[in-house]
Amino acid sequence: MPAIGQMKIQGLFLDHDGTISPLNVPRQESRAPLETEAVLHRIKQLIPVGIITTKDMAFIVPKTPFARAWCAIGGLEIRIGERIVTDPCVNAALPSISLALQYAQHYGDNHLFIEEKKDSTRQTIAFCVDWRQSQDPREAEVKANKVMACCQKPPLNVIRYEGQPFFDVYPCPIDKGRALAELKRNLGVKSGVMYMGDSKVDNPAFKVADIGIGVLHEESARDLTCNYYVKFEDVARFFQHLLENNLVFDKDFPEIIWRGLEK
Residue 262 confidence (pLDDT): 44
pLDDT digits (tens, 9 = 90+) for 185-206: 999 999 999 999 999 999 999 9
Class of domain 6-86+174-250: alpha beta
pLDDT digits (tens, 9 = 90+) for 137-172: 999 999 999 999 999 988 899 999 877 899 999 999
Where does the chain hold its CATH 3.40.50.1000 domain(s)? 6-86+174-250
Question: ∠ at Cα 183 (218, 94), nearest 5°?
Answer: 80
- CA distances in angstroms from 111 to 61, 119, 127, 141, 204, listed in the order given: 29, 26, 16, 9, 33
Residue 259 confidence (pLDDT): 62
Residue 163 confidence (pLDDT): 78
- Terminal C-alpha separation, the chain: 20
Residue by residue, DSSP assigns 179-192 as HHHHHHHHHT--S-
Mean pLDDT by 10 residues, the chain (263 residues): 83 97 88 97 98 96 97 96 91 95 91 94 96 90 94 92 89 95 95 96 97 94 92 98 97 87 44
Residue of 200, 105, 181, 176 lying closest to 143 (CA atoms): 105
Which pTM does this prediction carry?
0.91
Residue 261 confidence (pLDDT): 46
Residue 162 confidence (pLDDT): 76
Residues of 184-213 as b/e, b for ≥16 C-beta within 10 angstroms?
bebbebeebbbbbbbbbbbbbbbebbbbbb
